[in-house]
């Protein structure tokens, strides 16, 4: 049986706020750890039927980057759900939600920038 590992290192400031997130994986062509400004990691506990999550972002993560990150995450979650269930209806609704979310964020940004 093959084994693969993903390693995540988080550098914290004195207040334990993430300053830097770096990750690498054994099954990658990248020669060194990659930097990230945010991460979401979820595990499903089948026994307890609960999701366990770790959500971190660095202090230099901008609000517009967070909106992009959420939009892309919503879209990839929808694609994963489609592959797992073949449910095109709910997948379409999830993707539409992602688009609506992003459009509403952009509208808010435009209003804020006009003030």
- Which domain covers residue 11, as residue numbers? 1-60
Is pLDDT at 86 greater than 70 in this prediction?
A: yes
66 and 22 within one domain = no
67 and 112 within one domain = yes
66 and 111 within one domain = yes
88 and 55 within one domain = no
Residues whose CB falls within 8 Å of the CB of residue 17, separated by 6 or more in sequence, listed in order: 59
pLDDT band at 115, cuts 50/70/90? low
7 and 43 within one domain = yes
Residue 28 CA to residue 6 CA, distance in Å, equals 10
Q: What is the pTM of this model?
A: 0.89
Is pLDDT at 10 greater than 80 in this prediction?
A: yes
- What does the pLDDT average to over 1-28? 94
70 and 31 within one domain = no
- Neighbour count for residue 77 (Cβ, 10 Å): 16
CA 20, 30, 69 angle in degrees (round to 5)? 50
pLDDT digits (tens, 9 = 90+) for 64-81: 999 999 999 999 999 999
66 and 56 within one domain = no
34 and 66 within one domain = no
Place of tokens 């999701």: 51
- Neighbour count for residue 60 (Cβ, 10 Å): 10
68 and 26 within one domain = no
């Amino acid at each position: 049986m093959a084994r693969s590992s993903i390693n995540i290192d988080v550098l914290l400031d004195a207040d334990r706020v993430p300053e830097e997130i770096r990750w690498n994986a054994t099954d990658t062509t990248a020669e060194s750890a990659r930097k990230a400004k945010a991460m979401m990691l979820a595990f499903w506990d089948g026994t307890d039927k609960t999701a366990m999550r770790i959500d971190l972002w660095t202090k230099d993560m901008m609000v517009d980057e967070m909106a992009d990150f959420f939009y892309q995450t919503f879209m990839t979650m929808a694609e994963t759900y489609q592959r797992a269930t073949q449910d095109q209806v709910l997948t379409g609704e999830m993707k539409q939600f992602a688009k609506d979310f992003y459009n509403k964020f952009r509208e808010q940004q435009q209003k804020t920038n006009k003030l």
